[in-house]
Amino acid sequence: MARILVASTGMLSSVFVAAEFGRRLVRDGHEALLVTTENHGDRVREFGLAFRAMPKVPITPLACPLEGLGKNPFVRTPARRRQRLEETAAMLGAAEFGAMLDEISPDLAVIDFELHGPIIAALGRGQRTALLHCFFSTMVGPRNPPLGSFTVPGSEPEGAPEPVMNEWSDLLRWKRRQEIVGALRHWGGDIPSALGHLARKHRVARDMFVRRRWQYPWGYRLPCLMTSPAELDFPGEGDDDVRYIGPMIAGTRPEGVSRADVPGILGSEAAANGKPVVLASFGTVNSPPPAFLEALWAAFEARPDRVLIHVVPPKADAPRRSPPDNVTVVDWLDQPAALERASLMINHGGVGSVREAAHRGVPQIVVAADMMDRPGGAARVLSHGLGARLAGRETAEQISGTIDAVLADEGIAAACARMSEASQSYAARRVAERAVRQLLDEERT
């Protein structure tokens, strides 16, 4: 039995992935401790895991967590920059996480790839470390467009290798410009500069950082556990130690049962009457524009479907009209449980939703905004023949027509069945457990 520390960001989807990963480690005979922000303590314990709180750290490296300096050039002294570097670095969780490592002495630390401060703290201590990668592939490759791109590999002309690599070149140049501009503008208050400062303090070798990545500002030369099936992803390239361990999808999410009665809403009555059961879920970050929700409701008002829609009220303006009788709107649901009953999923292209629908073999209609990982999720759905994409400006008639087309497409149904079989095979083959045991058996580098 090994002592394994799993560290997650405070993003809800990432916490669920880490919790299911930790639960599988415990079942495999290990001692697993999940470290994340305080607000997720009860949720982690519901998974039967030990929990330790860590401070909330910025995971948006483009942000500047310190106050601006104003326009006075005389405050931009070397001493002031060093002070701001220290203040920013102190917000990144390296000191707290390092103290935790010193106290616990885990045999292995598995850290979310967005937790840069904890990763640097682990590297500086020579801690055996792997990355927990909750997104799709972010590695450069001619058949792997940047995760923020709608490009489908192989599509002409934009999906050919040369245009794909041109997208990567543009992105990598943009990243470098952002680093330079941020360093000058914020004078030590920018996160990339603070991470570089941390790395020097911890004596982390520069060759441990890999800039040729979608994520900002960089990745790390460490074993990477990808929590998606390889069959759903696009291939990257290079010498990365990437290990696809399959999706970490919990059988149930306890909190959701009390917040939305999924069996009651999407029960057997609709299925018995031959009515499609549709789940529309738009993630935990934000919701689609009210105009699209109104068009969606108008589409379902004229259809026999039984519909469950998940939106996030605090960040969504209320549509002017109420949902029709066959549509139930909730602010929380147990999404894996809902997918077990769904004939179709309409989602925002987020990696969690795309991955969970693919795992259950549910066809998808993706309404993805041009932000974060969502274009890449939409591209994978289209590339693997798992559904269709909407722009979010369609009329009720166009939405309804797309629903009919996807539900009637035998090719989509067959592709979804194949993807589901491939995805579910990872748990049956215990791929994640074997990958962790292999990491524990390897010599420290």
Which of 356, 352, 343, 407 is CA-nearest to residue 376? Answer: 352
Together in a domain, 172 and 291: no
Q: How confident is the model at residue 326, as a pLDDT?
A: 83
Together in a domain, 326 and 388: yes
Alpha-carbon distances of 182 from 147, 179, 262, 277, 398, rounded to whole Å: 23, 5, 46, 48, 43
User: Domain containing 297: what range?
Assistant: 254-425
Q: How confident is the model at residue 258, as a pLDDT?
A: 39
Give me 174's structure tokens: 């943009």
Together in a domain, 82 and 149: yes
Q: How confident is the model at residue 65, as a pLDDT?
A: 76
Together in a domain, 293 and 437: no
Beta-carbon-side half-sphere exposure of residue 236 (alpha carbons within 13 Å): 21
Together in a domain, 404 and 434: no
Between 12-21, 61-70, 299-308, the lowest mean confidence (pLDDT) is in: 61-70
Quote the percentage of the chain above a pLDDT of 70.
Answer: 88
Q: Please name the amino acid found at residue 270.
A: A
- What CATH number is attached to the domain comprising 60? 3.40.50.2000
Between 29-33, 104-108, 113-117, 391-395, the lowest mean confidence (pLDDT) is in: 391-395
Q: pLDDT tens, 101-111? A: 999 999 999 99
Average pLDDT over residues 120-139: 94
Quote the percentage of the chain above a pLDDT of 90.
Answer: 59
Residue 316 clears pLDDT 60, i.e. is over it: no
DSSP string, 117-180: HHHHHHHHTT--EEEEE-SS--B--TTS--TT--PPTT-TTTTSHHHHHHHHHHHHHHHHHHHH
Q: How confident is the model at residue 265, as a pLDDT?
A: 58
How far is it, in rounded angstroms, from Cα 255 to Cα 265? Answer: 17
Q: Pairing state of beta strands 129-133 and 108-112? A: parallel
Q: How many domains, in total, are found in the chain?
A: 2
Q: pLDDT tens, 354-387? A: 999 999 999 999 998 777 889 999 999 999 999 9
**pLDDT-derived band at 90, boundaries 50, 70, 90:** very high
357, 338 Cβ separation under 8 angstroms: no
For helices 374-383 and 351-360, give the axis angle rounded to 10 degrees: 30
**pLDDT-derived band at 274, boundaries 50, 70, 90:** low
Residue 290, preceding bond cis, omega within 30 degrees? no
**pLDDT-derived band at 313, boundaries 50, 70, 90:** low
State the Cα torsion 173-174-179-182 to the nearest 10°: 150
Together in a domain, 271 and 394: yes
Q: pLDDT tens, 140-199? A: 999 999 999 999 998 888 899 999 999 999 999 999 999 999 999 898 999 999 999 999
Between 23-32, 216-225, 280-289, 406-415, the lowest mean confidence (pLDDT) is in: 280-289
18, 2 Cβ separation under 8 angstroms: no
SS3 category, 300: helix
Q: How confident is the model at residue 61, as a pLDDT?
A: 75
SS3 category, 309: strand
Residue 85 clears pLDDT 60, i.e. is over it: yes
Together in a domain, 63 and 206: yes
Beta-carbon-side half-sphere exposure of residue 403 (alpha carbons within 13 Å): 26
**pLDDT-derived band at 272, boundaries 50, 70, 90:** very low
Together in a domain, 165 and 295: no
Average pLDDT over residues 50-66: 82
Containing 80, the helix (H) or strand (E) segment is helix 78-89
Which of 47, 42, 39 is CA-nearest to residue 19? Answer: 47
Together in a domain, 67 and 113: yes
Q: Please name the amino acid found at residue 95.
A: A
Q: What is the mean pLDDT of the chain?
A: 87
Together in a domain, 113 and 72: yes
Q: pLDDT tens, 238-266? A: 657 899 999 999 765 555 433 555 556 55
Q: Is 48 left (phi over 0), alpha (psi -120 to 50) or beta?
A: left
Q: How confident is the model at residue 264, as a pLDDT?
A: 60
Q: How confident is the model at residue 304, as a pLDDT?
A: 81
Residue 15 clears pLDDT 70, i.e. is over it: yes
Together in a domain, 197 and 276: no
Between 43-52, 193-202, 282-291, 337-346, the lowest mean confidence (pLDDT) is in: 282-291
Together in a domain, 421 and 433: no
Between 37-46, 155-164, 266-275, 327-336, the lowest mean confidence (pLDDT) is in: 266-275
Q: How confident is the model at residue 336, as a pLDDT?
A: 86
Average pLDDT over residues 66-83: 79
